[in-house]
Amino acid sequence: MQLQFAMDTLTTEAALELAAAAAPHVDILELGTPLIKSAGLSAVTAIKQAHPDKIVFADLKTMDAGELEADIAFAAGADLVTVLGTAGDSTIAGAVKAAEKHGKGIVVDLIGVPDKAARAKQVVALGAAFVEMHAGLDEQAEEGFTFSTLLDDGKASGVPFSVAGGISVATIASVQDAGATIAVAGSAIYSAPDVGEAAAALRAAIREG
């Protein structure tokens, strides 16, 4: 299972600092939606230039203009770009068209989708590389939130999936056990006193092979 670090910060400088500390321990560097909204796609270019050996993930959460938004993110240096599962099929198909043009991939973020397993099958049939079983920061803060539902949805989907939603050292093994190909961790790394150590601890909790 691969490890993805979601950098939910607001400036390119802060992201470069986080990435430098975590990069030795992670496979994928994600520019979070607030970072891209705040700093623009030049942040994607800066991270790719600093870490050409890493997969760079632009969390655009596109809802419309799929082909155009994905195209500009790939041109800026992204390897993977997100489109929302709640978007229409034509938006997802448009983003997939841009990914094919650049030889890159689209990830469909299933945040807010009621039946994640069913939508996952549909969007992979449309050409998405994989789906993200995701509970956002607001949903995580809601009363009664249960992380395990994401794992059940992933297992039921039958397609390649990542999981995001407050993953920690205590829960990452369960994500691997559920069959996820990628675990996404944000606050468990960027909020830690030592970012490199936190990333290394998550990596150490993933079984090899």
Ligand X SMILES: O=C(CO)[C@H](O)[C@H](O)COP(=O)(O)O
Interface ranges with ligand X (CB under 6 A)? 6, 8, 32-33, 59, 136-137, 164-167, 184-188
Decide: helix, strand or coil at residue 56. strand
The dihedral region occupied by 61, where left means phi > 0, alpha psi between -120 and 50, and beta the remainder, is: left
Q: Look up residue 163 and give its two tokens.
A: 């999981």
The dihedral region occupied by 153, where left means phi > 0, alpha psi between -120 and 50, and beta the remainder, is: alpha
Find the shortest distance in angstroms from Cβ 185 to ligand X: 5
- Which CB, 6 or 131, lies closer to ligand X? 6
- Which CB, 66 or 165, lies closer to ligand X? 165
Q: Which residue has the tokens 């993977």?
A: 80
Burial of 150 (0-12, 13-18, 19+ CB in 10 A): buried
Find the shortest distance in angstroms from Cβ 186 to ligand X: 2
Find the shortest distance in angstroms from Cβ 101 to ligand X: 25
Find the shortest distance in angstroms from Cβ 177 to ligand X: 18
**Chain residue at closest Cβ approach to ligand X:** 186
- Which CB, 63 or 125, lies closer to ligand X? 63
Q: Residue-wise over 35-72: b if at least 16 C-beta within 10 A, else e? A: bbeebebebbbbbbebbeebbbbbbbbbeeebbebbbb
- Which CB, 26 or 185, lies closer to ligand X? 185
Find the shortest distance in angstroms from Cβ 59 to ligand X: 5
- Which CB, 92 or 188, lies closer to ligand X? 188
Whole-angstrom Cα distance, residue 67 to residue 97? 7
